[in-house]
Amino acid sequence: MAGIGFELRKLLRRQSYSGLLQAYAYAGIISAGPWILSIIGILLIGILSIGVVTPRGLIVQFQVSVTYVMAGSLILTGVVQLAFTRFIADRLFEKKDDWVLPNFNGLLLVTVAVSGVVGLGIIVTLFAQESVIYRLLLLAAFVIMCATWVAAVFLSGMKRYKEIVALFFLGYIVVIGAALLLRPFGLEGLMTGFVCGHFLLLTGMMTLIYRSFRSGRGVGFDLFRPGAMFGSLALTGLFYNAAIWADKFIFWFTPETSQHVIGPLRASVIYDLPIFLAYLAIIPGMAVFLVRIETDFVEYYDKFYDAVRDGAPLATIERTRNNLVYSARQGLFDIAKIQAVTVLIVLALGERLLQWIGISPLYLPLLSVDVVATSLQVILLGILNILFYLDKRRMVTLLTALFLVSNTLFSWLSIQMGASFFGYGFALSLLLTVLVGLWWLDRRFDALEYETFMLQ
């Protein structure tokens, strides 16, 4: 997220309530905008299709199919998301701008080929009983989503945050409009609308990328050379995306907590609704996360390393180091405070909220646990971000691996213990990962001067 702090600092310099509100609103939209738009878009399609798409089960088949497409594409492309962003950033730092576009084309070509082969194998072997049109649309959606994540990560690395949100907004207007227009054609019509909207979204991203960069080469594969990309970042991207979905897959493929939907795809009504509602509750925490980490922390981070490079007196270095540590701890504390308020609001108004959207109040205990869990996930993002700034890539990899293993194990155990413990596996895995992350972060801060001077 390096670079977004410049925009936030401009808004905060106004020293007014309007500037403060704009800064937090901007941070919230940038951090959660595309993801929130996708969730709301898919839910709207389902709600507005009731009574038109019959039987109603076709709507559920569409929503579940899209959810699996998003999960699978995120996990598959997670291997290259962080590693490719760092590769491009390093090339730009080296003034090798002509390497950017060819390697993006190379990665996109490999992504489309790999996702196409994987997706084709899945629809041929696991969806043999479904219609040919549905299978082809499912394959197209998977390949397009994989390419979309690669393009979105690339644009994020180029600090084109507002453009990404705008493109997602336009893309999902088309997704909703096309799906509603084609809904009389049932499942295939809804899937066609989804594919058309995301194809337009991908086209917009590609247009923006090609306008921003020029190169004499068409396709390059320099990023696949040994040592060109950090393996730790590849593992981190894979582990983190897999960890986010681990508990969902556990509940989806446990017969006692799920039901068959279409082909090999299953869903868990008892688990899915609360967890996705809980993710909507992290927007305030994400906004605070960006504002505090990308303004105060980055400012003191720059001052500390400027003091080191410029040969400042030891007292100055120690003072800037103390400010750096304080800003990091205060930022994480502020995230915890705002999410604690969010949890209290959900506990107080959760039953009314569930009744308003037509969900049984029996889901309230699970929703409350899930809101606590997603709040911990925002704190984990803050910890990972700070560790990335300190260039502790191996530590981040171990933390995300811990998150993946613990979420898988604890979620499975929660199912064995009964319905009263649903959601606790996800929450406990994040609590464990956050506590370990805070302990490691505290140790790194204590040894910051030593590592800066002696290990670089």
Is the per-residue pLDDT at 368 higher than 50?
yes
Residue 272 CB coordination number (10 Å):
17
Task: Supply the pLDDT for residue 2.
Answer: 45
Stretch 126-141: mean pLDDT, rounded? 93
3-state percent breakdown (helix, strand, coil) of the chain, nearest 5: 85, 0, 15
What average pLDDT score do residues 327-343 get?
86
Q: How far apart are the first and last CA of the chain?
A: 24
Q: Where are the beta strands (DSSP E) in 389-441?
A: none
Question: How large is the average pLDDT for residues 54-73?
Answer: 87
Q: Mean pLDDT over residues 81-95, rounded? A: 85
pLDDT of residue 14: 59
Residue 35 pLDDT exceeds 70: no
Strand, helix or coil at 15? Answer: coil
Residue 309 class from Cβ within 10 Å (0-12 exposed, 13-18 middle, 19+ buried)?
exposed
Q: Residue 265 is inside which H or E element, if any?
A: strand 265-267
Binned at pLDDT 50, 70 and 90, residue 58 comes out as confident
Q: Is the pLDDT of residue 267 over 70?
A: yes
Asked if the model's pLDDT at residue 451 lies above 50, the reply is yes
Per-residue model confidence (pLDDT) at position 317: 83
The residue behind tokens 């336009």 is 170
Asked whether residue 425 carries a pLDDT value surpassing 90, the answer given is: yes
Which two tokens mark 212?
């921003």
Tracing tokens 């790194």 back to the chain, one arrives at 444
Mean pLDDT of the chain: 84
- What one-letter code names the amino acid at 46? G
If 0-12 CB within 10 Å is exposed, 13-18 middle and 19+ buried, where does residue 346 land?
A: buried
| Largest interatomic CA distance in the chain | 74
Cα Rg of the chain, angstroms = 23
Amino acid at 56: R
Each residue's pLDDT tens digit, 144-196: 999 998 888 877 766 666 777 778 788 888 888 888 888 888 889 989 988 99
Cis ω for the linkage preceding 361 (within 30 of 0) = no
Q: Which of residues 15 and 190 earns the better pLDDT score?
A: 190
Give the span between the Cα atoms of 74 and 248, in whole angstroms: 14
Q: Is the pLDDT of residue 16 over 90?
A: no
pLDDT digits (tens, 9 = 90+) for 270-302: 888 888 888 888 877 777 777 777 777 777 888
- For 136-148, give the DSSP string: HHHHHHHHHHHHH
- pLDDT for res 23: 60
Measure the CA–CA gap between 371 and 259, rounded to whole angstroms.
24
| Overall size of the chain counted in residues | 456
pLDDT of residue 373: 93
User: With 50 as the cut, is the pLDDT of residue 1 above it?
Assistant: no
How far is the C-alpha of 135 from the C-alpha of 131, rounded, in Å? 6
Task: Identify the CA nearest to 195 among candidates 105, 61, 62, 78.
Answer: 62
User: What confidence tier does 306 reach under pLDDT thresholds 50, 70, 90?
Assistant: confident
Transcribe 215-235 into DSSP letters.
-S-S---GGGSTTSS-HHHHH
CA–CA dist 357, 215 (Å, integer): 51
> How much is the average pLDDT of 354-380?
85
CB 93 within 8 A of CB 230: no
pLDDT reading at 223 higher than 80: yes
Element (H, E) at 181: helix 161-182
User: Of 8-17, 373-382, 422-431, where does mean pLDDT reach its minimum?
Assistant: 8-17
| Cβ-based neighbours of 250, under 8 Å, separated by 6 or more | 408, 411, 412, 415, 425
What is the Cα–Cα distance from 274 to 47, expressed in whole angstroms? 17
Q: Is the predicted pLDDT of residue 454 greater than 70, yes or no?
A: no
Predicted pLDDT at 338: 85
- pLDDT of 118: 96
pLDDT at 5 over 90: no
Residue 262 phi/psi, 5-degree rounding, is -160, 140
CA atoms within 13 A on the CB side of 202: 19
* Reduced 3-state DSSP string for 441-454: HHHHHHCHHHHHHH
Which of 327, 324, 325, 339 minimizes the C-alpha distance to 380?
A: 339
Is the pLDDT assigned to residue 310 strictly greater than 70?
Answer: yes
User: Between 301 and 71, where is the model more confident?
Assistant: 71
- State the pLDDT at residue 113: 96
CA distance 187 to 285: 36
